[in-house]
Structure 1
Amino acid sequence: MRTISRTDRSRDAVRCTTMTESGPYNYSYIFKYIIIGDMGVGKSCLLHQFTEKKFMSDCPHTIGVEFGTRIIEVAGQKIKLQIWDTAGQERFRAVTRSYYRGAAGALMVYDVTRRSTYNHLSSWLTDARNLTNPNTVIFLIGNKSDLEAQREVPYEEAKQFADENGLMFLECSAKTGDRVEDAFLETARKIYQNIQDGNLDLNAAESGVQHKPQTQNTLLGNIQDKKESCNC
């Protein structure tokens, strides 16, 4: 069971959407994600589709930052994704830039039906590269792939941009859900691979990864189970 709550913080006008799950929090790692890109490209819709499996047809523009979580599994390890959805308006850039620090993954989104959002990718990429650590996984996402008749950015052009800049890339649709899971999960798989390859220092806050060992309650439960099953 999942519940969602929203709170508005006055001052910075930051809307925070948090998701909680009932039951034990069994996960081995926490990965921090940020979602960046122009206003109206569908960043909040992607977040909601991934965390709630629903499309928000009347999704308001993000004011400041929104937040969501989901627990996934990669290579047999449960991983909690903490996802920060940032506002695309220029007037909020000073606020949202602070959320780049300590991000393990950055989803950089443009709208395939609006070339202007694609043309601004270089600026977003510069921020991502300057404000995150060198091992942050940056995933380029072309959203609204369901609107093929209105397309302004060819797939091949965006793929070339991604290849030239060493980015992972796919097109997806927050409306239909097509390939939304892939974007978030492939990013997590790449981060996890970086951990296995020793490219991330988990003791460094800027890595965007926290290792969560077994809780004391879980360990005590395991000990109790062993005692109950012992035939001594």
Structure 2
Amino acid sequence: MYYRGSAAAVIVYDITKLESFQTLKKWVKELKEHGPEDIVVAIAGNKNDLGDIREVPMKEAKEFAESIAAIFIETSARNAVNVEELFQKISRFSCLFVPSV
């Protein structure tokens, strides 16, 4: 019920906490099992302004996103970095899969 009618899902993890990335993988599994088949998934690594204490390598997160055909971006909610870009990517990707009427 939670996912019904959803066109997109943004799953966010904290780049400074490896545990949050592991939890993200569980959310992706849940979404794939119970969400709409055609849902657009975006993986967002937040807190990229704290890259000096990063625990999740960008390469690892990007490879995971690619393996599930998800959008990937790193953001900083604090500094408003790539937040708008995230939603623009989702919008562009969603437009590619709009069913014809």
Deviations 1:71-93 (A, max 9, x none): xxxxxxxxxxxxxxxxxxxxxxx
Residue number in structure 1 paired with 2:69: 166
Equivalent positions of 1:142-181 (< 5 A) are 142-181=45-84
Query: What is the CA RMSD across the aligned residues, in angstroms?
Result: 1.4
Deviations 1:132-174 (A, max 9, x none): 2111000000000000111101111101111111111010100
Task: Name the SS of the counterpart of 2:97 in structure 1.
Answer: helix
The answer for unaligned runs of 5 or more in structure 1 is 1-97, 203-232
Is the aligned partner of 1:124 residue 2:27?
A: yes
Q: Distance in 2 between the 1:185 and 1:137 partners? A: 12
Q: Distance in 2 between the 1:126 and 1:154 partners? A: 21
| CA shift for structure 1 position 99 | 2.7
Equivalent positions of 1:42-57 (< 5 A) are none
Q: Distance in 1 between the 2:94 and 2:61 partners? A: 23
Structure-2-length-normalised TM-score:
0.92
Runs of 4+ in structure 1 off by over 4 angstroms are none
| CA shift for structure 1 position 194 | 0.7
Report the AA paired with residue 170 of structure 1: I
The 8 Å contact of residues 14 and 20 in structure 2, kept in 1 or not, is answered as: yes
The answer for unaligned runs of 5 or more in structure 2 is none
Determine which structure has greater relative contact order: mean sequence separation of CA pairs < 8 Å that are 6+ residues apart, divided by chain length: 2
Deviations 1:88-134 (A, max 9, x none): xxxxxxxxxx3311100000110000000001122100111122211
Is the aligned partner of 1:183 residue 2:86?
A: yes
% of aligned pairs identical? 35
The number of residue pairs the alignment matches comes to: 101
Q: Distance in 2 between the 1:106 and 1:131 partners? A: 12
The 8 Å contact of residues 13 and 21 in structure 2, kept in 1 or not, is answered as: yes
Structure-1-length-normalised TM-score:
0.42
Q: Which of the pair has more CA radius of gyration?
A: 1
Q: Which has the higher strand share?
A: 1
Q: Which has the higher helix share?
A: 2
